Structure formats: C-alpha cells, structure tokens
C-alpha cells in the first residue's frame, strides 16, 4: 500500500475532496469515495464502456484513468444529466425507444452519446454507429439504442 | 368496459431510476464497517492440493481473515435445484476446494480485508501448492475419473418413443451428421455480487445481490448454514442481466453469508470480469451425432441422436437440465414417427456449466435444423419444402410428444407452424429476397439466406402466488415471488393488474425478489414469469375487483353486475349516475389498511410458443469473415402483453444468438488453461455486428392453458440463430452441409473452405 494524496473531483459541478492512492481508478473514486454509483463497472479493462463519463468535455473510460489524473477537471456523470425532474433528451429517447432493459450499460451509453453529440452535433449516422459500437450491451441487441440516440441527436440539433 | 392495457406497448415503469443513475445494483450496496471479500482461485485445471499457505496474506495490514477449506469444513456442497435425477449428488461442488482442484478458477481460499484493493493484494500473497494431474477436456472423447469409483460420465439421459430401429432398417435414405456447438455463456454486463450482513438484534442474516431464484437460495443457504429459513432474508435489487447464469446459488454467495455470521462484520463480494469468465456458469458445449431415416420424398421416418454434453468440473444447481431439455425439445415442430435420444452428461476440467438462455435448445435446434437442411439436399428439395413436408399440422394440436422434461409431459398446447412459416416468408418478401441474392451472386458476391424453425417452451410451474394490496390512498402494490433480471417484469405485471382490476397503470408498483414480503416464490427462469406470475396476478386482480364492486354496489344503490371499473373509478355500465374511486371503496373496507387479495396459479404443463428465423449473410471468401446483413424472427407468442418488450426480448436474443454463431467461445489450451478471460478474447457482438432486425409478433395460437392465452418470449430470439446463420452460410457458398460447428469463426471457415 502506498500513500494517499489529496485531490478534488469536480463531479457535476460539485467538489469532492478525497484522498486516493495513486493506483485508484477514477471509476472507483467516483463510486466509492464520492458515492456516485450511477457510473458502472462492467469489465475494468477498457472494453465495455459501462464506466464512460465525460471529463473536460470528452467521453472517457473511467476504469482506465487514475483518479489523480482527473484532479480538478470537470467530470460529468449520469447523475448530472437531468435538470431536476426534467430528463435530458437522451434519457427520454432511451425511454421512448426502449433503449434499455437491465439498465446496467445505460449510463455508459448515455454519457458516450451525449459527449459525442455535444462535441460533434452534425455527426453522420455511420460515424455515430462507429462510436456506439465501442460500448457493449448484452440485453437489447443495440437496435433500440441506435434508434434512441438518433432521435435524441435530431432533437439536440434542433435545440442548439 | 375496462380500458385496454394488455397488448399495448406501454413505456416501462422500470426506466426512470435506471436512466438517472439511481439504480441499485449489487455493487451499489454498502454497509458501514464492511469487509471486502476476494476469492483466491486455482490456476490449475486439475491437481491435488499439497498446501495452501496464507501466512503472508494474513500479515498484510488491513487483512482481517483468510479462509481455506478447513474454515468451511462444516458446509455441505451446493445442492441441485432442478431435475430430480439420482446419481448427481457425488459430483456437487464444495464452496472451497478440499483436496483437489478441478478447473482453473475454482475457489481455494478467500481473503477478507478492509477494502477491495487490499483484499486483492492479499489474495496475490496466498501460496497454493498444487501437484498437477492430467486434464480431461473433451466430453466426446475418453472419460476419466472424477474421484475413485466415480467416472466423469455423470449420467446418461435417454428419451424416445416408437421403433427407430425398424425405421432405419427400411428407410430409403439415411442422413447422418456430426455437429457441435461451442462453449458460451450469458455473460451479463453486471458481474455477480453478494453483500451479506448479520443483524444480531433480530438474529437475521441478510444477503443483497440476490437474483433469479431468491426464495430457493434463501432456503438452501439456511440448510447449508444450519439456520432457520425464517432467519435469513434475500433481497434482489437491480440485476444487470440474467440469461440463466445470474442468480443461481454459487460458492461465493454461501461464503459471504457464512463469513458475515462468523466474522461479525458485513461482507461485500463483487466479482471482477476475469473471474466472471472463469467462475460463473458456462453453457452450450455439446457434440451431436444425429441421423434421420427418410423416405424418397424427404419425409422423416425416424430420428436418432447421441450427444455429449460438457458439464465442466462439477454438477451445479441446474443438475441435468440442459441435456434433459436438449433431448426433450430436439424433435421441434416436425412429425417424427420414431425418436431416440441418448445424452451423455460428462465432466471435464473446465468451468462448471449451467443454463444459458434457450438452454439445450440453441444446441438441439442447431442439430435438428442442420439435419432438415441435409434431408432437403438428399431428397433434392428446397429447405423450405423439406420443412413443409414434415411440419405438424394445426389439427394435430394439442400434440403429445411422448417425452417429458423438468417433471412435465411435453404436450404442445397450440400452434399453426405452417401458418407462421407463411408469415415469415411473406414478411421477408421471400421471392424478392431470393432474386436480390441471385443478382448479387451474379455480380460476384457471396450471399445467402438461411431459415430455421423451433418450438420453445415457457411458463414452467408448478405455482406462483401474488398478493395485491390496495391502500386507502388508492396506491396499489402487487407482491410476487417472481424475480426480475432486467426484462420488464414490473411493467408487464402492472399492465395485467391494471386492466383486470380496472386501475390506473401508474398507480401500481410491483414488488419482487424480496423473501420477507412473500412466503414462497419460484423466481424468474425458463421464460416463466409472464405466464405464471401473470396469470396469478390476473386472478388476484379479478378477485379484488369483484370484492370492490360488491362493496360499492349498495353504496351506489345498484347491483354489482351493473357496475364496471376503469382507471381507478367505479361507474355504472350505462354511464348514468355518479362514479366512485376505488380508493374510497378501499377506505370503506378498512380505513387504515384498505383492501387486499391473494391468488395462486398452479400448472403442471408448460406452454409452447414457436418461431421461425431467417438470416441473410455475406461471406468474405478471402478472410472467412461472415457478416449478417439482415435478420427476421417471426414468433407466435399466443398473446403479447407488451409488444415493445416482446420485441426487445427478441432483438436482444438475436444478438446473443449471432454472438454464439459467429464470435463467442470459451477456449482452453491443452492443459486446461482458459484462453478467454477478458472481453478482448471472449468476443460479444457490438452494434457493428448486429444487422437491422425485423420482428413479426404473431398471436394465432393463444395458449388454452391460461385465460389470457399467454406464452413467454425470453428465449425466442436466440433459439434458432445458430441454425439459421449456418444455413445461410452454406447457401452463400453453395455448399450444403459445410457448417457443422459453432461458432463459425473466420479461421474455421477458411480452414473448411481450404479442405474442400
Ligand atoms: S468498466 Fe471501463 S470499459 Fe468496462
Ligand atoms: S440493457 Fe442490459 S446490458 Fe444494456
């Protein structure tokens, strides 16, 4: 065991002052040290994308990043998507298009899709499919996830 | 008239917490002062344990305890839940290996520490000395010994009827095939987890992270720990996928419970993915030697199948289920005058096996449908015609197959198989599809179409109970002993309750998977919940409705037969006079508790939905790569409570079926070392590998065994996917019978092509 260093994780606009070992992953720190359990861990080796969060505007796999690397950066997780009781268009689209079953992969897909669409609102359908194929879902067969993200993309474009 | 809710694609009650990060999955549960548990697993496929040295691990700061088999010597092996077949008991698994290890990943020791990182560090310090023994890795090859006097062939299952020998003697042709399906598993995206704690004040042991069969697991843990069953409660939270594997009783669950008792602190165990791929049940791996006796026109006279089921290292909770179902369901939708199946359940030095979505049927459908394709080739007719000639007819229903499985007689309750084939063919635009394939082939493309059929089973009894409570505020709770593994149980049960009772859909909450809320329950497996729990719900709702109307009638100065209830309001059927809220009636019954009703549904027969899969594939002759371009499933579900959810079940199943057909496989080296231990080696389909899917939901054959006509849909999408894709690849290459093994990986297909 090595020494713990103090860091600040800014999650959804709130500061969490915590102390972590250098090896602690961002995913574990978000979940265990900051109590934000909406971010899920499906593999811990960077393949499934369930742990996707947005760090300084970029979707990242929080199981592949050390918590210390995110010190002071702006982190967004699924808990921050809705505004009060009003769901984000992406969340609503997942509900409308039955884009989730067990819901375990869902936070990762939501953050991936939101992160990419905010950065690149005009992304083509093909590129969007490429992006979505970097996360795994074992329940839905993806068809409804793709439908949901396309519908939300159209709405987000209209709104911006 | 009550408003129609059954049959509508209602949005799910389950979704809001899952979309907003408020889910409660196993790893989201924590208790103050909890210990993190880490399992130390065997690195050898087969060997004698010489010693386990825990001293260094124990000395690590933060480590609370390290256990080996001696510390759990009181605990019996984990029992078999399904299939009451004698002879399985000696092959059950102890929670920690005693003198031998029998697969890589077998729990040998367990560490309890202040946090998960420390527990993992300590686990690395446990030194296990093992004297390696030769591993048995091929269930269809030579058998070995599990223990002295116990061969690795656990049991042989035999089923059949009619005089197959005579048919084979006189047949015009005999078609024989050897076929195999690789080792797959459900691989839910959430790994397993168990959080146990002991409440000394109430002498109550609690476990969170339960799924699928909480009541059975509660009872079993009670027996294993020698406790009263009433002194243990299991709680199901959110479950990140089930697919057969999640929620069975595993060694880790029992150890966590035992440790919470013995160590006096809460214990939290969360599996990592590498563990999940070597320790959670595997499934599927079978080799079939199948043959058919046919006449000159391709009519089946008899089918005979000898198969070898690779059960892995131990018999687990499912007992002989997978092989039993494979043998019982192999005949499918066809008229087979004589049938014989001989299934060898054999142990190997691999991860133990259990069920995975459509257990035994993904495998036997592959065998049977490949056989039908071979019959077509032999008789010189098209695959579709070969099927038409052999299908059971509507007039044959109900059809007694003359075999049994899971303690029930297989009697197809209803079906119009030929009608569904027509629907599937119409929906694909068969002729246009064939023409397009022909044109593309002329242009040099390697494309083909495959079709496969199946009969599913669902709604396994023997019972389910439901209690409905209507509170004085008008809120309704439906309490069931079912479980949810993410398939939308709450929504479906709420729909049935809302329509039958005449309540508003959004006033209903559904409680499941909590052993302290209902006396007994069978959980969620075998696509049983919609049928069994659904019908129990309908009965309880009907009883409550009748009671409310009887109480309301005098208050509304009319006869109960003149009243109807809809959206939570009781009114006269002729629309005259005032209406009354059901909440008011509940209050008049009991101002504090409101009204409630209970009902059970018992059934000794399963129901039998059926389906057709059609796949369009393109093959790259250079690389051996196969792309599924389009997929169609036509499925007769009797009655769909929520078509959107049925479609979701089917599309999800198709994806798993495509995975099993083309990508997924647990491979081992010659010493039994697993090679598929990350998501980079065990390849599951991504959005890229899944084609556009068309789902045709048919309701032509409602089940006569329950009033709503319900059948289940959980396993429809996966069942025939291996068979349909294999047929499509054969068709693309113009080589009937080429595909004999799943998954069809690029390497295998290239090798098969090179061998031709
Ligand atoms: S948990 Fe991070 S990619 Fe799977
Ligand atoms: S909804 Fe279960 S893994 Fe995606």
Residue B1's pLDDT is what?
Answer: 40
Q: Which mutation among B241, B242, B246, B487 tests ligand 2's pocket best, with the greatest number of atoms within 8 A of CB?
A: B241
Largest CA distance in chain A: 51
Strand B595-602 and strand B463-470: the pairing is antiparallel
* DSSP secondary structure of A49-63: -TTEEEETTEEEETT
- Under an 8 A CB cutoff, do A45 and B680 touch? yes
B506: CB partners within 8 A, 6+ apart: B13
B64 with B129, same domain: the answer is: yes
B396 with B441, same domain: the answer is: yes
In the structure, what pLDDT confidence band is assigned to residue A1 with cuts at 50, 70 and 90?
A: low
What is the C-alpha separation between B743 and B56, in angstroms, rounded? 44
Q: B522 CA to chain A: closest CA distance, Å?
A: 20
| Phi-psi sector, B741: left (phi>0), alpha (psi -120 to 50), beta | beta
Q: Per the confidence metrics, is the pTM higher than 0.90?
A: yes
Cα–Cα–Cα angle for B286, B288, B291, rounded to 5 degrees: 165
B525 with B434, same domain: the answer is: no
Cα distance between the two ends of chain B: 66
Nearest CA, atom 3, ligand 1: A46
**Pair of tokens at residue A23:** 């090896």
- Best of A86, A90, A102 to substitute, by most chain B Cβ atoms within 10 angstroms, is A102
- Under an 8 A CB cutoff, do A98 and B189 touch? no
Residues A12-28, mean pLDDT to the nearest whole number: 98
The answer to whether position B6 is within a domain reads no
B559 with B664, same domain: the answer is: no
Whether B445 has a pLDDT exceeding 50, the answer reads yes
Cα four-point dihedral sign B672, B674, B675, B676:
positive
- Best of A141, A144, A150 to substitute, by most chain B Cβ atoms within 10 angstroms, is A141
* DSSP secondary structure of B664-715: ----B-TT--BS--STTTS----TTTPPPEEEEEE-SS--TTSTT-----TT
Residue B488 belongs to a domain with what CATH number? 3.30.365.10
- Under an 8 A CB cutoff, do A102 and B239 touch? yes
Domains of chain A by residue range: 5-80, 89-159
Residues B11-33, mean pLDDT to the nearest whole number: 97
Q: State how many domains chain B has.
A: 3
3-state helix, strand, coil in chain B (%, to 5): 30, 25, 40
Up-side HSE of residue B33: CA atoms within 13 Å toward CB? 7
What is the C-alpha separation between A55 and A10, in angstroms, rounded? 10
Evaluate whether B186 touches B248 at the Cβ level (below 8 Å): no
Report DSSP state, residue B334. B
What is the atom index within ligand 1 of the atom nearest the CA of A63?
2
B492 with B392, same domain: the answer is: no
**Pair of tokens at residue B5:** 């809710």
Angle formed by the axes of helices A125-132 and A106-119, nearest 10°: 140
Residue B694: closest CA among chain A residues belongs to which residue?
A143
B255 with B310, same domain: the answer is: no
- Give A89-159's CATH code, choosing from 1.20.1250.20, 2.60.40.1930, 2.40.30.20, 1.10.150.120: 1.10.150.120
**Pair of tokens at residue A14:** 């709130």
pLDDT tens digits, one per residue of B190-232: 999 999 999 999 999 999 999 999 999 999 999 999 999 999 9
The pLDDT > 90 percentage for chain B reads 93
Whether B642 has a pLDDT exceeding 60, the answer reads yes
**Closest alpha carbon to B347 in B99, B48, B46, B675:** B46
Q: Which residues of A touch B684 (CB under 8 A)?
A: 136, 138
Residue B3's pLDDT is what?
Answer: 66
Q: A72 CA to chain B: closest CA distance, Å?
A: 23
* DSSP secondary structure of B222-281: HHHHT--GGGEEEE----S--TTTTTS--HHHHHHHHHHHHHSS-EEEE--HHHHHHHS-
Mean of the per-residue pLDDT values of chain B: 96
A2-6, B261-265, B307-311, B346-350, range with the lowest pLDDT: A2-6
Residues B90-107, mean pLDDT to the nearest whole number: 98
Residue A32: closest CA among chain B residues belongs to which residue?
B28
**Closest alpha carbon to A118 in A68, A148, A76:** A76
Up-side HSE of residue B346: CA atoms within 13 Å toward CB? 23
What is the C-alpha separation between B595 and B522, in angstroms, rounded? 25
| Per-residue CA distances from B592 to B466, B474, B554 (Å) | 21, 12, 22
Q: How far, in whole angstroms, is CA B540 from its chain's centroid?
A: 27
pLDDT tens digits, one per residue of B127-178: 999 999 999 999 999 999 999 999 999 999 999 999 999 999 999 999 999 9
- Under an 8 A CB cutoff, do A43 and B653 touch? no
What is the arrangement of strands in the sheet containing B47-53, beginning at the earlier edge strand?
Answer: B100-101, B47-53, B127-132
Q: B14 CA to chain A: closest CA distance, Å?
A: 9
Evaluate whether B260 touches B204 at the Cβ level (below 8 Å): no
pLDDT tens digits, one per residue of A93-152: 999 999 999 999 999 999 999 999 999 999 999 999 999 999 999 999 999 999 999 999
A55 vs B483, higher pLDDT: A55
What is the C-alpha separation between B277 and B676, in angstroms, rounded? 7
Whether B2 has a pLDDT exceeding 70, the answer reads no
Residue with tokens 């894709």: B725
What is the C-alpha separation between B631 and B566, in angstroms, rounded? 40
Up-side HSE of residue B234: CA atoms within 13 Å toward CB? 34
The answer to whether position B154 is within a domain reads no
Cα distance between the two ends of chain A: 48
- Under an 8 A CB cutoff, do A104 and B238 touch? yes
What is the arrangement of strands in the sheet containing B107-113, beginning at the earlier edge strand?
Answer: B63-67, B107-113, B35-41, B267-270, B193-199, B204-208, B232-235
Strand B408-412 and strand B399-405: the pairing is antiparallel
Whether B577 has a pLDDT exceeding 90, the answer reads no
Residue B730's pLDDT is what?
Answer: 98
**Closest alpha carbon to A111 in A48, A47, A39, A63:** A39
pLDDT tens digits, one per residue of B363-387: 999 999 999 999 999 999 999 999 9
What is the C-alpha separation between B718 and B181, in angstroms, rounded? 14
B741 with B614, same domain: the answer is: yes
B116 with B64, same domain: the answer is: yes
Evaluate whether B728 touches B449 at the Cβ level (below 8 Å): yes
The Å distance, Cα A135 to ligand 1 centre, comes to 9
Residue B254 belongs to a domain with what CATH number? 3.90.1170.50
Name every protein residue with a CB atom under 6 angstroms from any ligand 1 atom. Answer: A 41-44, 46-51, 61, 63
B528 with B389, same domain: the answer is: no
The ipTM estimated for the assembled molecules is 0.98
- Give A5-80's CATH code, choosing from 3.20.20.10, 1.25.10.10, 3.40.640.10, 3.10.20.30: 3.10.20.30
Strand B741-742 and strand B173-181: the pairing is parallel
468-507 in chain B: CB under 8 A from chain A = 485-488
B651 with B746, same domain: the answer is: yes
**Pair of tokens at residue B368:** 């049977």
Torsion of Cα atoms, B434 then B438 then B444 then B448, to 10°: 30
B106 with B220, same domain: the answer is: yes
B662 with B711, same domain: the answer is: yes
**Range of B261's domain?**
31-134+191-239+246-279
B237: CB partners within 8 A, 6+ apart: B23, B24, B25, B26, B28, B29, B208, B209
Pick the last residue of a domain from B279, B303, B331.
B279
- Under an 8 A CB cutoff, do A104 and B486 touch? yes
Q: What are the backbone angles phi and psi of residue B633, rounded to the nearest 5°?
A: -125, 125
The answer to whether position B145 is within a domain reads no
Q: In this complex, how many residue pairs, one in chain A and one in chain B, have their CB atoms less than 8 Å apart?
A: 172
**Closest alpha carbon to B310 in B266, B370, B357, B363:** B363
- Under an 8 A CB cutoff, do B687 and A100 touch? no
Facing residue for A95 by CB, picked from B15, B28, B241: B15
């Amino acid at each position: 065991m090595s020494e713990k260093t103090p860091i600040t994780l800014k999650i959804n606009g709130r500061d969490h002052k915590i102390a972590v070992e250098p090896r602690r992953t961002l995913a574990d720190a978000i979940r265990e040290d900051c109590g934000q359990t909406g971010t899920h861990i499906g593999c811990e080796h960077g393949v499934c994308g369930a742990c996707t969060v947005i760090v300084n505007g970029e979707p990242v796999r929080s199981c592949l990043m050390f918590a210390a690397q995110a010190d002071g950066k702006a982190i967004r997780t699924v808990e921050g998507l809705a505004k009060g009781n009003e769901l984000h268009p992406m969340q609503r689209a997942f509900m409308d298009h039955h884009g989730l079953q067990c819901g375990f992969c869902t936070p990762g897909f939501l953050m991936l899709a939101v992160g990419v669409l905010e950065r690149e609102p005009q992304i083509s359908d093909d590129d969007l499919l490429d992006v979505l194929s970097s996360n795994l879902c074992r329940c839905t067969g993806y068809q409804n996830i793709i439908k949901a993200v396309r519908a939300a993309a159209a709405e987000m474009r209209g709104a911006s | 008239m009550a408003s129609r809710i059954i049959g509508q694609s209602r949005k799910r009650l389950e979704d809001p917490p899952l979309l907003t990060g408020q889910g409660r999955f196993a790893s989201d549960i924590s208790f103050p002062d909890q210990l993190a548990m880490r399992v130390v697993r065997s690195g050898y496929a087969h060997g004698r344990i010489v010693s386990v040295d825990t001293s260094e691990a124990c000395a690590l700061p933060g480590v609370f305890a390290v256990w080996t088999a001696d510390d759990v010597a009181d605990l019996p092996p984990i029992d078999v839940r399904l299939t009451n077949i004698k002879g399985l008991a000696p092959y059950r698994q102890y929670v920690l290996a005693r003198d031998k290890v029998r697969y890589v990943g077998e729990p040998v020791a367990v560490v309890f520490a202040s946090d998960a990182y420390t527990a993992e560090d300590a686990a690395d310090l446990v030194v296990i000395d093992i004297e390696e023994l030769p591993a048995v890795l091929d269930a269809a090859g030579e058998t070995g010994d599990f223990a002295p006097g116990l061969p690795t062939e656990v049991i042989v299952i035999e089923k059949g009827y009619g005089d197959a020998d005579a048919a084979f003697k006189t047949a015009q042709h005999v078609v024989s095939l050897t076929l195999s399906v690789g080792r797959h598993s459900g691989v839910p995206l959430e790994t397993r987890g168990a959080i146990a704690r002991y409440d000394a004040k109430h002498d109550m042991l609690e476990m969170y992270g339960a799924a699928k069969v909480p009541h059975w697991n509660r009872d079993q843990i009670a027996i294993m720990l020698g406790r009263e069953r009433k002194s243990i409660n299991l709680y199901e939270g959110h479950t990140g996928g089930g697919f057969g594997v999640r929620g069975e009783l595993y060694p880790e669950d029992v150890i966590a419970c035992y440790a919470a008792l013995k160590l006096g602190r809460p214990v939290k165990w969360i599996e990592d993915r590498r563990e999940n791929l070597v320790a959670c049940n595997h499934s599927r791996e079978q080799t079939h030697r199948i043959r058919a006796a046919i006449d000159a026109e391709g009519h089946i006279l008899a089918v005979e199948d000898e198969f070898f089921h690779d059960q892995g290292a131990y018999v687990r909770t499912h007992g002989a289920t997978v092989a039993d179902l494979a043998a019982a369901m192999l005949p499918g939708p066809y008229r087979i005058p004589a049938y014989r199946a001989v299934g060898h359940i054999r142990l190997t030095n691999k991860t133990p096996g259990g069920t995975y979505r459509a257990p035994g049927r993904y495998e036997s459908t592959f065998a049977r449908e490949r056989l039908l394709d071979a019959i077509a080739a032999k008789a010189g007719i098209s695959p579709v015609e070969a099927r038409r000639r052999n299908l059971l007819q509507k007039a044959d229903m109900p059809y007694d197959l003359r075999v049994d499985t899971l303690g029930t007689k297989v009697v197809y309750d209803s079906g119009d198989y030929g009608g569904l084939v027509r629907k599937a063919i119409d929906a694909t635009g068969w002729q246009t599809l064939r023409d397009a394939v022909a044109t593309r082939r002329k242009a040099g493309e390697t494309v083909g179409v495959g079709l496969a059929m199946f009969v599913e089973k669902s709604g396994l009894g023997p019972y389910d109970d439901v209690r409905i409570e209507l509170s004085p505020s008008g809120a309704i709770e439906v309490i069931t002993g079912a479980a949810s593994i993410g398939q939308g149980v709450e929504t479906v049960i709420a729909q049935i309750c809302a329509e039958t009772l005449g309540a508003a859909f959004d006033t209903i909450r559904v409680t499941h998977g909590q052993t302290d809320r209902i006396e007994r329950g069978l959980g969620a497996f075998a696509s049983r919940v919609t049928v069994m729990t659904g019908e129990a719900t309908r009965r309880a709702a009907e009883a409550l409705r009748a009671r409310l109307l009887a109480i309301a009638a005098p208050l509304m100065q009319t006869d109960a037969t003149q009243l109807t209830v809809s959206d939570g309001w009781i009114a006269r059927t002729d629309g005259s006079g005032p209406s009354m809220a059901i909440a008011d009636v509940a209050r008049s019954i009991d101002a504090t508790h409101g009204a409630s009703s209970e009902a059970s549904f018992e059934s000794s027969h399963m129901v039998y939905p059926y389906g057709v899969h059609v796949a369009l594939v393109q093959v790259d002759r250079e690389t051996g790569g196969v792309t599924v371009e389009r997929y169609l499933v036509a499925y007769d579900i009797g009655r769909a409570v929520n078509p959107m959810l049925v479609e979701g079940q089917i599309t999800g199943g198709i994806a798993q079926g495509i995975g099993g057909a083309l990508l997924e496989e647990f491979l081992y080296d010659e010493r039994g070392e697993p090679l598929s231990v990350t998501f980079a080696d065990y390849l599951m389909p991504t959005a890229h590998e899944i084609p556009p899917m068309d789902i045709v939901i048919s309701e032509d054959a409602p089940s006569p065994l329950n009033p709503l006509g319900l059948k289940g849909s959980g396993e429809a999408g996966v069942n025939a996917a291996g068979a349909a894709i294999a047929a499509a690849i054969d068709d693309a290459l113009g080589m009937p019978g080429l595909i004999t093994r799943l998954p069809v990986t690029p390497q295998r297909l290239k090798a098969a092509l090179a061998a031709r």
